[in-house]
Amino acid sequence: MQYVYGPIPSRRLGRSLGVDPIPLKTCNWNCVYCQLGRSLPLTNVRSEYIPRAAILAEIEESLAAPEIQAAVDVVTFAGSGEPTLHSGLGWLVRAVKALTPLPVAVITNGALLCRTDVQEDLLAADIVLPTVSAGTPALHRRIHRPHPDASFVQLVAGLKAFRTRYTGKLWVEVMLIRGLNDSELPLRQLAALLQQIQPDQIQLLLPDRPPAEPWVEAADMEGLRRAAALLGAAAPVVSPLSAPIHVSGSLPAAIAGIVSRHPMSFQQLASALTDCPPAAIYAALADLEAHGIVRPVDRLGLRFWAAAAAHFPAPPQPPNSLAS
């Protein structure tokens, strides 16, 4: 399938059937930590990038399979960039709600919630997960590097407006990056902002997949505990969730669908694909790399597998000792 993938373990949602309504990497942010690499170029234009009927047909096919139904906790719109850039997102959310009693989630950066049409699109979702990782405009720009038309002021105004209308679960994601937003002052500034937004939960996340920029590091345990203590006054803080991945059909196709949206190391794949021998996973990765579908990316001291088309700058090389 092109637009539906998984079920995959979601650190926030359990076992998620992913729906990807946009091409790689259609986004209005260029986050330094993004697991899909750099956004080249940035776009802030809503459009029907992929025909909505084609996306819905794949969702219907997936949900018709009993083994998929049994393995899914939630249908999640996320994928290869910012899903609210798809102008048919609201139509798709409502269509899925008519198909299944499963909850529908939308993982979004929240940058377009300043628009009433985007708010309308997301009102039908059961769970909306926007990103707020900074409490000031300067730090927001440094972490997320947004499109010039997607400002911090608009993000905050949109989240506040959406909160007054939305009756579902609003779970805010905070990505904690060492040396950027894990010390006391930025966390207090972020806590003050989140108290204004009033989310139902605050989800602390770490960049444990290959970040777009090689210098990005996850906050350490001290930073994580500091964030939980300071942000806990705004809303309950929760930990990530994980679950095994269910494979339906071809193993190479399943792996390609997963790592193109959620890059993983071989060890992560082997731990998640509990029904698949490690040798079969290794062979599938080798075949996908040979056909130019996935490629290795070295980050965080590990080798990850990602979409071949993703843009990851190479880590800086150490100086040549012979030339120095």
String of DSSP letters for 75-111: EEE-SSS-GGGBTTHHHHHHHHHHH-SS-EEEE---T
For residue 320, pLDDT over 60 is answered with no
- Between the ranges 69-73, 189-193, 287-291, where is the mean pLDDT highest? 189-193
Confidence of residue 246 (pLDDT cuts 50, 70, 90): low
Distance from the Cα of residue 187 to its chain's centroid:
22
Give domain status of residue 317, yes or no.
no
**Domain, as residue range, for 35:** 4-238
Q: Mean pLDDT, the chain, as a whole number? A: 89
Q: In the chain, what percentage of residues exceed pLDDT 70?
A: 93
* Res 241: pLDDT: 44
Give domain status of residue 124, yes or no.
yes
* Res 316: pLDDT: 63
Instruction: Give the domain CATH number at 57.
Output: 3.20.20.70
Give domain status of residue 243, yes or no.
no
Give domain status of residue 163, yes or no.
yes
- Predicted TM-score (pTM) of the model is 0.82
For residue 319, pLDDT over 60 is answered with no
Confidence of residue 321 (pLDDT cuts 50, 70, 90): very low
Give domain status of residue 271, yes or no.
no
Q: In the chain, what percentage of residues exceed pLDDT 90?
A: 65
Least confident segment among 42-46, 242-246, 269-273: 242-246
Pairwise CA distance, residues 287 & 35, whole Å: 22
Domains in the chain, number: 1
Pairwise CA distance, residues 29 & 38, whole Å: 9
Give domain status of residue 286, yes or no.
no
Pairwise CA distance, residues 68 & 144, whole Å: 35
Confidence of residue 305 (pLDDT cuts 50, 70, 90): confident
User: Over the range 34-63, which residues count as b (16 or more CB within 10 Å of their CB) and which as e?
Assistant: bbbbbbeebbbebeebbebeebbebbeebb
Pairwise CA distance, residues 86 & 123, whole Å: 16
Pairwise CA distance, residues 202 & 195, whole Å: 11
Give domain status of residue 257, yes or no.
no
287-303: average pLDDT:
86
- Residue spans of alpha helices (H) in the chain: 52-63, 66-71, 89-99, 116-123, 137-144, 152-165, 184-197, 221-231, 251-259, 266-272, 278-290
309-313: average pLDDT:
82
* Res 239: pLDDT: 55
Give domain status of residue 81, yes or no.
yes
